[in-house]
Amino acid sequence: MRVPARAAARAAKLRAEIEGHNYRYHVLDEPLVTDAEYDALMRELQELEARHPELVMPDSPTQRVGAAPSEAFKEVSHAVPMLSLNNAFDEQEVEAFDRRVREALGAERVEYAVEPKFDGLAVSLIYEGGALKRGATRGDGYTGEDVTANLRTVRAIPLGLTSRRAPRLLEVRGEVLMLKSDFEHLNRAQREKGEKEFANPRNAAAGSLRQLDSAVTAGRRLTFFAYGIGAQDGAPRFRRHSELLDYLEEKRFPVARERAVASGLREVLEYYRRMAPKRPELPYEIDGVVYKVNDLAGQEELGFVSRAPRYAVAHKFPAEEATSVVAGIEVQVGRTGALTPVARLDPVSVGGVTVTNATLHNEDEIRRKDIRIGDTVVVRRAGDVIPEVVRVIASRRPGNARRFVMPARCPVCNAAVEKPEGEVVARCTAGLYCPAQRKQALLHFASRRAMDIEGLGEKLVDQLVDRKMVETPADLYRLDAGSLSALERMAEKSASNIVAAIEGSKRVMLARFIYALGIRNVGETTARDLARHFGDRLKAIMGADDQTLLEVPDVGPVVARSIAQFFHEPHNRKVIEQLLDAGIVFERAASQPGRSRVAGKTFVLTGTLPNLAREEAKRRIEAQGGRVTGSVSKKTGYVVLGADPGAKHDKARKLGIPVLDEAGLLELLND
């Protein structure tokens, strides 16, 4: 079934926007949108992908947890992924969640562990032999940041477990947050020192935990609440999640006193209604409540999708609202040339946070809501800086209110703006020649997951572009230490280091190079799939038409069109030719997926393997060109069984899918 062009375009826009917000929130600590607006974008994308499964891509934000960790801290891999939760915004969605759980477990009524949803920063605490050895942030769910020194300053976190026979390994998971009273104390101190105040307790907690100087963290009065256990070795065997929380409380970990056990949907919703009015009275901020299947065997049976467990859901409280006036609408130009209208609002406090602007997405959205300059609008937020414009209060519209018109020329470079038929996004046609796109394209090209040119940050790129020293990525390879050292705040040693980093980036995997080019709709996963499918041959990729590209796993019509159009553009081909002339060469992968029995096969891992961690098994399968998914279907090549495999084993047997144990998997990988 063909996907409507408007739906495909909207999905692509949402993916790019959500990933941008993920990066700013998780990596830069500079969020641009509220939780409400982020949730709305994610929700819209999820609904689009549900209606059009062809739009689902491995690199979609719906298939992941968060964003990459900051480079300011050492990376930490989580042995058991720290997944985020799916959200429910009304009782109907909670009813649907409960129905899915009951049907999957074959139960008339399910018991849930219920607890507040803390509005803080998720962390993992590793105890070995009873002693705290490591603490890390969630990061993207698979890789976080080592913030052990800072977490050791949080007095609510035990430095050792109270037991003579402590588990050999215990990973405690929870939320670091700042109490409301401590937040007020901190902002009072900031005012007295004439320094910038924090927007809300969550921002204060996140910024405090990620300080490079742990003495600063120690002075910020952070606290901690535990909500679960990850990896473990030698811990007691629990039957219920509520028992697990009781155990953590016995070990002197703070656990929410407001937690409870609810039997069935009615009691779950009663808990929500009890907690909502208590929200202002609690000593800490919460933005909803969490329901988890209490039976741990049931949790294992339900399993999880790529970014969230199926056995839990976060029931969010309604977002807070206020009114403001649209003082103006400006247009921002993104890395791909997309023109995004942004409402500039009269400053207004929403839930204790001053907000001044809101992304309006596109011209069609402005027309649909009939937003005009000068209008009084209802704005909504659920946790952070930028609100969602909910609706216009038409009765307050002034006589001089002005309609917004998307400019015909790019506000940055004055090039023509076009809006392709069937798409909702208008774009600047200047490509890499547009300074707005040029800067972002260069930053993307040099980013850690692309060409990994250390030191090439935003301020340096601004100078290079503004002084016309660099116009395309190929120009980076013509820079020398002498010209760089003449720039502001650039010493000779720093200049030499950057030139060395640029030189070192010349040897690169083809997948990273493709990702670095910034092709629309092509993320890291798609870039890897292209490199594998075409045997690391760039010319073959550049010469492929839409139909040939559709043969690549998980590449649909929209992605194929984006790739073909990109490489068809003479300007892009010229830049690539210049990059190759500059000395870029492609390193081959250690393994050759095309020769492996694993290549092209889909694997499902279920149960606990005796020696191989799930993430390690996944990494080794993917290294040989295989794919790992979370559910069994007719397209599954192998199901790998560990201890307590659950329902996936039964489904594999019904469908006649080959089943492997760990030894069989290793034999296949080593063949």
Note the pLDDT tens digit of each residue in 602-659.
899 988 888 888 777 887 887 777 888 878 888 899 999 988 777 888 888 889 999 9
Output the pLDDT for position 388. Answer: 77
Cα–Cα distance list, 634 to 54, 501, 618, 651 (Å)? 17, 47, 20, 10
Looking at domain 509-587, which of 2.40.110.10, 3.40.50.2300, 3.90.1170.50, 1.10.150.20 is its CATH number?
1.10.150.20
Cα–Cα distance list, 236 to 133, 159, 295 (Å)? 20, 20, 15
Output the pLDDT for position 500. Answer: 94
Structure-model confidence comparison of residues 487 and 320, the more confident one: 487
Output the pLDDT for position 613. Answer: 80
Those residues with Cβ within 8 angstroms of residue 103's Cβ, 6 or more apart along the chain or in another chain: none
- Tell me if 431-505 shares its fold with 509-587: yes
pLDDT band at 312 (very low <50, low <70, confident <90, very high): very high
Output the pLDDT for position 437. Answer: 84
CA 53 to mean position of chain CA atoms: 20
Output the pLDDT for position 31. Answer: 60
**Mean pLDDT along residues 51-72:** 64
pLDDT at 116 over 60: yes
Q: How far apart are the first and last CA of the chain?
A: 39
Per cent of the chain over pLDDT 90 is 42
**Mean pLDDT along residues 182-197:** 84
pLDDT digits (tens, 9 = 90+) for 516-557: 998 878 888 899 889 989 988 999 999 999 999 999 988 888
pLDDT band at 136 (very low <50, low <70, confident <90, very high): very high
Q: With the CA atoms of 593, 595, 599 and 600 taken in that order, what torsion angle do they form, in degrees rounded to the nearest 10?
A: 110
Structure-model confidence comparison of residues 48 and 453, the more confident one: 453
Return contacts of 577-584, CB within 8 angstroms, 24+ apart.
Answer: 578/472, 578/474, 579/473, 579/474, 579/477, 581/474, 582/474, 582/477, 582/478, 582/506, 583/477, 583/506, 584/477, 584/505, 584/506, 584/507, 584/508, 584/513
Output the pLDDT for position 460. Answer: 94
pLDDT band at 68 (very low <50, low <70, confident <90, very high): very low
Count CB-CB contacts under 10 A for residue 595.
9
CATH architecture, domain defined by 5-63+319-396: Beta Barrel (2.40)
pLDDT band at 245 (very low <50, low <70, confident <90, very high): very high
pLDDT at 571 over 80: no
**Mean pLDDT along residues 94-117:** 96
CATH architecture, domain defined by 431-505: Orthogonal Bundle (1.10)
pLDDT band at 177 (very low <50, low <70, confident <90, very high): very high
CB 659 within 8 A of CB 645: no
CA dist., res. 506 & res. 583, Å (int): 6
Three-state secondary-structure class, residue 278: helix
User: Is residue 292 among the annotated active site residues?
Assistant: no
Output the pLDDT for position 436. Answer: 81
Output the pLDDT for position 502. Answer: 95
pLDDT at 94 over 90: yes
CB 662 within 8 A of CB 611: yes
pLDDT at 258 over 80: yes
pLDDT band at 34 (very low <50, low <70, confident <90, very high): low
Least confident of 89-93, 191-195, 196-200, 207-211: 196-200
Structure tokens at 479: 């820079």
**Mean pLDDT along residues 352-372:** 86
Output the pLDDT for position 69. Answer: 46
Output the pLDDT for position 104. Answer: 94
Output the pLDDT for position 199. Answer: 65
Output the pLDDT for position 659. Answer: 92
| Candidate ranges 235-239, 289-293, 384-388; pick with highest mean pLDDT | 289-293
pLDDT band at 89 (very low <50, low <70, confident <90, very high): confident
CA dist., res. 659 & res. 637, Å (int): 9
Residue identified by tokens 């069935």 is 264
Q: Element (H or E) spanning 586, and its range?
A: strand 585-587
Output the pLDDT for position 385. Answer: 46
pLDDT at 320 over 80: no
Output the pLDDT for position 253. Answer: 92
Structure-model confidence comparison of residues 72 and 114, the more confident one: 114
Residue identified by tokens 């990376």 is 75
Q: In the chain, what are the domain boundaries?
A: 5-63+319-396, 75-316, 431-505, 509-587, 595-670
Write down the CATH number for the domain with range 75-316: 3.30.470.30
Please, what's the b/e burial string for 109-132 (b: 16 or more CB within 10 A of its CB; e: otherwise)? ebbbbbbbbbbbbbbbbbbeebeb
CA 198 to mean position of chain CA atoms: 23
pLDDT band at 591 (very low <50, low <70, confident <90, very high): very low
pTM of the full predicted structure?
0.47
Q: What is the mean pLDDT of the chain?
A: 86
Those residues with Cβ within 8 angstroms of residue 326's Cβ, 6 or more apart along the chain or in another chain: 343, 344, 345, 371, 372, 373, 374, 375, 377, 389
pLDDT band at 514 (very low <50, low <70, confident <90, very high): very high
Q: Class of 595-670 per CATH? A: alpha beta
pLDDT at 102 over 60: yes
**Mean pLDDT along residues 433-447:** 86
pLDDT band at 222 (very low <50, low <70, confident <90, very high): very high
Alpha helices in 336-395 (DSSP H): 363-369
Structure-model confidence comparison of residues 120 and 33, the more confident one: 120
User: Which of 13, 117, 251, 601 does the annotation list as catalytic?
Assistant: 117
